[in-house]
Amino acid sequence: MLAPAGTAGTTGASADDPATEPADGTLTPTATATPDTSGPEARLLFTEALGELAPTAVSGPSTSAADGLIGDLRADGAPVTTVDGLQYTSGPVITALSVASTHQGARDAFGFASAADTVVPDAEALRSPLASTQQADAEGAEGTGEGEQ
């Protein structure tokens, strides 16, 4: 917000009051409140918006499932896959598997916290659609005699 020069910090001065505007019309910037773009609410909103646009997996330590971003996303029912337990040896592996499951359309909660659906994605959820198509093509070729030498 811009205030007329000489009015910043004075009592009763208003940027909209022509009586306080200097004759030369110069304006002096005043401090304005800016939204917090680094706080928990901003991270939650950003992550939820990202989940609407693309398959998204978010991982963090077990503590984040109780009082952090992972817990907030789960409580909000955000359209993302969440993984808690990143501090454990299995955490990065579970995260990688969860990323694969998101590309199959899954939006689940994995990890060790009570709010997790299961520890790891189901093996069926990890099957690649390309692999399924290739397998079906191979099975079809066997039944028709194609591909035989």
Whole-number pLDDT of residue 4: 45
**Strands 57-60, 81-84: parallel, antiparallel or unpaired by DSSP?**
parallel
Identify the pLDDT of residue 117.
Answer: 92
Could you give the C-alpha distances from 45 to 72, 80, 84, in angstroms and in order? 10, 12, 19
pLDDT given at position 1: 41
Q: What is the block-wise mean pLDDT of the chain (149 residues), using blocks of 10 residues? A: 45 50 61 67 88 91 93 92 94 91 85 92 71 62 57
Report the alpha-carbon distance of residue 101 to residue 35 in Å, rounded.
Answer: 35
- The pLDDT assigned to 119 comes to 94
71 sits in which H/E element: helix 69-76
User: How far apart are the C-alpha atoms of 15 and 3, rounded to whole Å?
Assistant: 4
Predicted pLDDT of residue 104: 77
pLDDT for res 91: 93
Name the residue ranges covered by the structural domains of the chain.
40-121
pTM: 0.61
Q: What is the pLDDT of residue 123?
A: 79
Query: In this structure, how many other beta carbons lie within 10 angstroms of the beta carbon of residue 112?
Result: 15
